[in-house]
Amino acid sequence: IAEGKAALIEKTWTLGPAQNPAILTCALRQGPAHFINLAPGPDDSFALIDLPVTVREDTRHEKMRGSIRGWIQPQIPVAQALEEYSRWGGTHHSALLLGRHAEGLAAFADFGGVEFTRIEGKS
């Protein structure tokens, strides 16, 4: 998923007596992707939300170099994307799937018996 070579760095740990962890850092590879979320629904149901996005160039902010980082841009206006994402119950536990895999995501949702929605804008 890295654009270029990832780096292994020591990260300062401040939440207790543990030793500092080693973490991988990198910019995300640019190109098409899916921002996906498995959102809980009523009566123990779930919905798989697919927001097609494009991963953009790396950040120029030096303080971000010590993390996995990436800028994503939806194919529709950001305000509209966020409104639709919220309407479908999207949570903060999400994943980024690089490439274009719309058919595979729909098949995965069907196989798992969950509702599937792709946020592509209003028609």
CA distance 28 to 26: 6
Four-residue CA torsion sign, 68, 4, 99, 109: negative
For residue 123, what pLDDT is reported? Answer: 46
For residue 122, what pLDDT is reported? Answer: 62
- Coil, strand or helix: which one is 42? helix
Q: Who's near 112: CB < 8 A, 6+ residues apart?
A: 46, 48
Is residue 95 a contact partner of residue 72, using CB atoms and an 8 Å limit?
A: no
pLDDT tens for the chain, residues 1 to 123: 888 899 899 989 999 999 999 999 999 999 999 999 999 999 999 999 999 999 998 877 777 777 888 899 999 999 999 999 999 999 988 999 999 999 999 999 999 999 999 998 764
